[in-house]
A and B are shown apart, each in its own frame.
Chain A
Amino acid sequence: DAGVTQSPTHLIKTRGQQVTLRCSPKSGHDTVSWYQQALGQGPQFIFQYYEEEERQRGNFPDRFSGHQFPNYSSELNVNALLLGDSALYLCASTWGEPSSYNEQFFGPGTRLTVL
């Protein structure tokens, strides 16, 4: 039973560039959420996708966008990278209609460094 997978593992970009991160949810899961975790902080919610639609969004600028595909996998895109975007980007998946009761399972994350 495959867990949540993310790619790439590490990424180094320069300011102003654009980046795309990818996530495949755990088998049987159809809801994907993205979180940003800065060093020494807890993860912060970016947005959530269900049925190929963005269902919720956290307090992140429009430079952060996403997509969910028919096979439930998801992408996170960040445009015009800033130094402050350097963080661990986590994808979490769960099953069914978004609910506060659903347990979320995290992938290994993508470490993004912006120089």
Chain B
Amino acid sequence: QKEVEQNSGPLSVPEGAIASLNCTYSDRGSQSFFWYRQYSGKSPELIMSIYSNGDKEDGRFTAQLNKASQYVSLLIRDSQPSDSATYLCAVSSPEGGSQGNLIFGKGTKLSVKP
């Protein structure tokens, strides 16, 4: 059973701080990792994708991947109240004919306080 685990939160940070969101996954064969942002009542929006160990930066967002530890994280620098949302970690594995099948965690709710 492939699993993706996230702390449900809520994670509360002050405006301007760095928010750190974490995710672990069970399938060592996983190749692709995605972070989605979901505002309340809306659909998930893709923020970042990462495929190789290390860091990937895009604006205020940095995704970090460590395949040996089966760990992926998302850092949000200079957090803004508009970043308040649920952040979903998703993992995809090519094993067992599951290409393109995203497995999601339950999400971490982030609250950025002005």
Identify the A interface with B (CB < 8 A): 31, 33, 35, 40-45, 48, 55-56, 58, 88, 90, 92, 94, 98-109
Contacts and interface: CB of A to CB of B under 8 A. Distances in A.
B31 interface: yes
B99 A98 contact: yes
Interface of B: 4, 31-32, 34, 36, 42-46, 49, 51, 88, 90, 92-94, 97-107
Nearest to A109: B43
Given A42-B88, A42-B104, A104 B99 contact: no
Contacts of B106: 40-42
A42 B105 contact: yes
Contacts of A55: 99-100
Given A42-B90, A98-B99, 18 more contacts: A33-B102, A43-B88, A56-B97, A56-B99, A88-B43, A90-B43, A99-B94, A99-B100, A100-B92, A100-B99, A100-B101, A101-B51, A104-B46, A105-B46, A106-B44, A106-B45, A107-B43, A108-B43
Contacts, number: 74
10 contacts: A33-B101, A42-B4, A42-B88, A48-B101, A55-B99, A100-B93, A100-B94, A104-B100, A105-B46, A109-B43
Contacts of B104: 42-44
B46 A103 contact: yes
A47 B34 CA distance: 19
A58 B74 CA distance: 27
Contacts of A109: 42-43
Contacts of A108: 42-43
Contacts of A44: 104
